[in-house]
Structure 1
């Protein structure tokens, strides 16, 4: 297994070269100050290097510690290391448990500490499939086909949580362009790096992610997958949301206006519903009066028929001869005529009341229907209302009520002429009945006066002629009375339909009022919600910025809480590469422990 140090480790060795060369010579130079007393340092940096196998299991881990020295001399550091190694000069390090003591004679001092059981803050689970089948890593080398690599990242509960919460991880995969074609990485960035193609994924702090890469591969060999973790300490500047806020404010104002309009509509519909309810009550009273009048018409016709029959009989009796006439019955005629006249007066009074009530009901009906709005709502506007956040059932009720109101107005417009003619007809009927009643009173008075002042025997001829004329005229009156009662019955039947229509209108306006109330509740809720949109937008932006802005994170040591003045901690993590056997053997030799000089010499190869 090969593990190459990053540029940070190489830089550490290069920085150590001048000191080593000077130390190897005789003490002829006076440039290097001698270390006396206790040394101090300004800050410390830790670079954590870790190797994983190809599936993501942790193998080795060591830390390169860098100190920016202020005063040369003896200094102390802490860490649970299995072994330590000076990377700056040949001065040995003293290790006593977790305490590391060293003498710094350079402005930058480096040493390496190897660790066995220290857990990384992240777990990396890497799986491979070839042509749709999960495949063992070793068996992939040299294969051809459709390759899929999946990398799952999660928090390692055994690792330090503060790094997981504040560090951003960058995962880089390098693919030889000669071996890998048609590379796809839905959540990654693909870029060219020389003859290679690099795929990069980013894991934000506190996030657990899953990434996949797909490619067509020939003779599979693959470089190590690299993970670099650094503090997400870049302060994120809030975006300019002024224009968006203005648009949201306009939306909020518009919804408020809509809500106000719906509120006014609801008030108007409530008033309309109250009017139609009153109209329905008056119409019910009017219909009851018509029913009573129509019910009494039969008795009126029957009584009038009896009177007509009596007049005819009297006229015939008088014509047959004086001796055959019972003159005692004549004295009863004035009372009978007055009784008929009284009945006609009651009918006239009933018609007068009926006419008055009808005019009131008709006036209320006309005002109520005139108050029904005639707004022409287009299909596009109705469709837009359905697409809004209003309750669909409520919108259905409003549309049905709207169409019903238009139908009522149109029906009323077509029948308005008939309704308007009723008061005139009732007035004419009332006048005719009043005239007949007055005539009967006059006849009764004259007959009574004639019976009192005239010798019966001498006046029989005149009486006979008068009875004939009265009988003939009463026939005409009876025919008119019959026609009148028939008209009342017909009016009752027709008005029943009108009353039923008024009842439907009342039910429709009640449902419309209920629907308008529900719509107003919805628009009120919408207006309330949109009124807070600008502030909610800013709160969401602030929350998102706060989630990823870790600029207030104070670095802590990865190896020991006793270490202070830690300026930065970085993680450099690599998996094993997927190489053929000869390469793996060479890498196996490279794993052997090397001395400091071996590593130094490698820098010049």
Structure 2
């Protein structure tokens, strides 16, 4: 697609956009707001039992209203509590609204009880226990003596949102009073002593599966439970990880290109190794060939002596060839004169052959005229044959023609409406229909269930009326029985009158049948006579004509063929003389050139003999030096190529090292991009996603705090009177009451 636009097109587009905006009514525009919106923070508090099963869950949202009188939140809650004032929450279809009217608080808090966020957390937490290495129920550990092993399995939750999977970190913490324990082990954790308290802290990166283990030795075991904190990592230093992750694709792309280039280079070097060895072996073979040549040079010198002697013999043999060519030129001149005399004699005979051929042509013409007469006679006989066949065909169709003629005969019939002209075929069809109606009439009278006592004429009217009503219904029309009867009354009266005249018509048809039978007999007798005439013509006429013309025409053709062949022979002899007459000067010239060529070849052979003798002397003088130099050159070059090939063979080690580095890079990269954790997918600058609904704007902060059930003796609970006496007027008192059972252990940690 062409993405370049001319300035004129841009100006036209801008003008069109301005015109389009100018015609929009002012009332259609959205009102411009003041840009002030509330901000809020989300905190999800949950308590789980000894093993990680949810027992309570609440979402607390704290707002800085910035003067906004109406707050809207999206999410499904089991129960909603206003923790700031007495404004009632209005909830419908997952949407909750607080309308403060004119009394807008600067800060606002509400609690929504819900278990939904717990199932969408980025980790699923499972807790199990062992006593002295034996799996034990948590309910049986309180007050026991020995080593208690607490195991926490944090498994990534694939159904969590992408933001939570890539940005949440998990902190797991447990506190132990050093005065109450005998030993403490927590592999992989950071253990800190704070006063007399031992704090155990574990950390899991985003998307990382972790298994935490704490071993506590005690004489009277008790446990305040595990505390889990899930929060997005938003430290500014983590933005460098986001930058690294953002450049991951470019880095990976560049690395793949580098890797492919190394593969190509190493592949080429691998191919060169084989080629270098092959070249060295080829040089060895050349050196071997040099040895063979060096060993056989004495024989070459001997053979060269033979060649020099042969050149001398050939020179001696070619010397008399020039005289032989001169003799051939004289013989060619004599042959031309003899062929000229033969040509003149044959041309004289050619005139006599023309007269003989003319006589034979006249004779053949006479036979040709006779043949034409015979052909005309055959043509007439063939016409007679075709006429007989047509006549036989016409006679054979007399019966059907009689039927057609009788069927097309027009009959005038008196009817109720006057005289009507119809053909016999139409009358037969009408009477056939009337006969069928009459049979239906007889069946209706014989049927006891539906007796019909009227006349046949009434039955015809009834039948035709019913048919007319059915046809009208099929055409989408509707007529009454009276209308149908009125419409067919003329047709029914005519049909009945024709039925009454059927006897007279049948007598007429019987007379026509007799006439048809007589015509058919005449046609049969005539056809037999024509068959006999046609048989006589086939048996005698053709044979007689063939016998008269056969022998005379063959004799004339034979004489003409002989004359033509003699004439062709004379023509070819004359042509041969003409060709020889034209070619003889060139042949004489060619023979002269051949004589000159032989003289030149003789001189060349003499020069070649001298050259061979000089070359032999030169080879004998330089042969030993040339042989030794070639041997040293080939051996040195082969050794150099083998050393180069040995160096290239180390590419296998280079490739192995490259593959190892490549595997390390890929494994490390994949390990922190989802295989073991999502560290490189973290984005400290990403907008937070609400845990209750993505329809909510991004919260300023998010935290998830989970506390497991304590393993200790039950403490004295507050009485109902003390709860009623508590201060109900402030947010902090209500918030404290809401989480008193949840965080009582946590508040005692720092006592």
User: What TM-score, normalized by structure 2, do the two folds share?
Assistant: 0.38
Q: Which has the higher helix share?
A: 2
User: What TM-score, normalized by structure 1, do the two folds share?
Assistant: 0.46
Q: Which has the higher strand share?
A: 1
Structure with max Cα Rg? 2
